[in-house]
Chain A
Amino acid sequence: MKRLKLPQWLVLLMPAIIILSAVVLIPLLLSLYSSFTSYRLTRPDSLFNWVGLFNYEKAVTDVKFWAAFGRTVLLLAVALNLEMLFGLGLALMISKVTRGQRALRTMMMFPMMFSPILVGFQFKFIFNDNVGLVNNALQSLGITDTAIPWLVDGNLAMFSIIFAEVWTSTSVFGILILAGLYAIPRDPLEAAKVDGCTPFQSFRFVTLPFLMPFIYIAMAIRSLDVARAYDIVQIMTNGGPARRTELLWTLIGRTGYVDARMGYANAMGYVSIFLAIFFTIYFFKKLTAARKELGMGV
């Protein structure tokens, strides 16, 4: 009796492939198809109304879409860079502490445990113009006596969202960079000191190159998960005021569920998917390159 024998690695990978196909790949194909139809949730038969590239054309010519797209890219660029800088600073400060490092490390991880949705509510609360912690504090300290409209003014709302996003995700960078700092061999750092480096130069020429792979891992992990910001934004402003904080994801959610125009939403969804995939692959590539440069193997 001779059965078809699959290679062992394929057997081992099979469950992963099956579940990902069923829950991610097939729905995505479905949404790819529906993005070429005028599908509306309220009218199931519209799923078979083929409209070709109409949805994509509409998206591409829609100012609201491009505004949201631009804002999303901006938010990601600003947030990721700030998270990286703050994470780096935090990790450096903690690594210099001689006592109580464990406690500090734990405190740093605190925000990581918060559900993004909770973070959204928390900062909606804190930035509330009437009873929020921030305004209360500013007023009690006498810095201002008017209520600052943190979530009502467009620019301030964007700032508040970025603040919340950076607050939750800085610890990811902090932890990984801290791990990187622990892993740096001591010898090259001492050699740099003897070679005449000031502390800043040691950091710039030795520590930072060593940390790069860790920074890229953090970036890669974050880019796998960027859409988390959706939860935060949805709760804090839901794209408002007057769409001034509308991101790709909130726009998709609104178009799909509120307006029930699934086909159009899916077309925009694809754009957001490619955006995420682009970031992910970009950072994985960077990671591999940085690793090679340090001779860490493949």
Chain B
Amino acid sequence: MANNTNHQARRVALKWMHSVGLFLAMMVLCVPGLWIVLNSFRPTVEIMAKPPVWIPNDLNLDHYRAMFGGIGEGSVPVLTYFTNSLIISVTSTVIAILIGMAGGYAFARYKFKFKGGIFVGLMVTRAVPGVALSLPLFILFARIGIIDTHIGMILAYVAMNVPFTVWLIDGFFRQVPPELAEAAEIDGCTRWQAFWRVEFPVARSGVASAGIFAFLTSWNEYALASQLTRSTTSKTMPVGLLDFTSEFTLNWGGMCALAVLMIIPALILTFLVQKHLIAGLTFGGVKG
């Protein structure tokens, strides 16, 4: 009997430790981000106050107004950056998905020589660090004259995302039994129809998750963008963040406002496909 109570006591203690640990972990994960959000609503004076002001007594939309109005110090053309980011990310994502679907399907359904080698070869291109790639890409783009254009950025991001989309989509097509397409072909579909009407719908969630991944990567990328964009014609938001810095000062409040603008679309997308995201990664990796 003493043994039994002992076990119960330990269970209770463990439960407490669990709750406390979880709470602390979540604090560490969330506070830095929430801090940014909070500061985007506070006047710069209060952010910089010494001693610190812990309880905000003046929340306003000044930074947002300045950001969208293009007024105030530096007048950062945030809306233009937002549009650039959107155009570049969406276009490159769509193209990367199409290419990834073709490639992923090839890996999932066909047998050919050097398949493993080609696969790793594609993956490895993704491992090339952005800085290292940006040097020659900069020279090349400058030669062709697509530096500081949407096209240039889109090309770069498509290349960056293709390995990942191929990997994820491959994993999903493998989950679709080949018999499904065969049955469709026997039912009178062409191979093309069988793909679009049977295999694609079944693997659609995988394609969606690959899309989100590609979008987030493009949306948040900095190393390449910082070198391949020069002006407002193609600068994206991550590069735009630097506009809030000058030699000696930093407009924290304004930067926080832009940061919130960057996070919101990412946040919404991630929430929407949270489940597929996990499934996508695991299918691609473990079972593929």
Asked whether A167 lies within 8 Å of B135 as measured between CB atoms, the reply is no
Asked whether A297 lies within 8 Å of B33 as measured between CB atoms, the reply is no
Q: What's the tally of chain B residues with a CB closer than 8 Å to chain A?
A: 84
Asked whether A111 lies within 8 Å of B129 as measured between CB atoms, the reply is no
In the complex, chain B residues whose CB is within 8 Å of the CB of A104:
22, 26
In the complex, chain A residues whose CB is within 8 Å of the CB of B287:
296-297
CB distance from A286 to the nearest CB of B (A): 12
Question: How does the 8 Å CB contact mask read for A119-161 relative to B, with 1 for contact and 0 for none?
Answer: 0011101100011010010011000000000000000000000
When C-beta atoms are compared, the residue in chain B nearest to A115 turns out to be: B220
Asked whether A105 lies within 8 Å of B259 as measured between CB atoms, the reply is no
Asked whether B133 lies within 8 Å of A16 as measured between CB atoms, the reply is no
Asked whether B241 lies within 8 Å of A249 as measured between CB atoms, the reply is no
A1-30, CB < 8 A from B: 7-10, 12-16, 19-20, 22-28, 30
B124-143, CB < 8 A from A: 124-133, 135-137, 139-140
With the chains together, A122 CA to B33 CA distance in Å?
A: 8
Asked whether B159 lies within 8 Å of A20 as measured between CB atoms, the reply is yes
Asked whether B131 lies within 8 Å of A252 as measured between CB atoms, the reply is yes
Q: Given the interface contacts A96-B18, A224-B164, does A273 sit within 8 Å of B128 by beta carbon?
A: yes
User: DSSP majority for the B interface?
Assistant: helix
Q: Given the interface contacts A9-B112, A133-B35, does A273 sit within 8 Å of B262 by beta carbon?
A: no
Looking at A111, A114, A131, which has the most chain B CB atoms within 10 Å of its CB? A114
Asked whether B274 lies within 8 Å of A94 as measured between CB atoms, the reply is no
With the chains together, A281 CA to B121 CA distance in Å?
A: 10
The size bracket of the interface on A is 35 or more
With the chains together, A151 CA to B73 CA distance in Å?
A: 27
With the chains together, A266 CA to B106 CA distance in Å?
A: 34
Asked whether B135 lies within 8 Å of A262 as measured between CB atoms, the reply is yes
Asked whether A276 lies within 8 Å of B162 as measured between CB atoms, the reply is no
Asked whether A16 lies within 8 Å of B137 as measured between CB atoms, the reply is no
When C-beta atoms are compared, the residue in chain A nearest to B165 turns out to be: A16
Selected A-B contacts with CB under 8 Å, 17 pairs: A9-B106, A12-B105, A14-B102, A15-B102, A19-B162, A31-B136, A89-B25, A106-B271, A107-B30, A115-B238, A131-B47, A217-B286, A227-B129, A227-B223, A230-B129, A231-B238, A276-B128
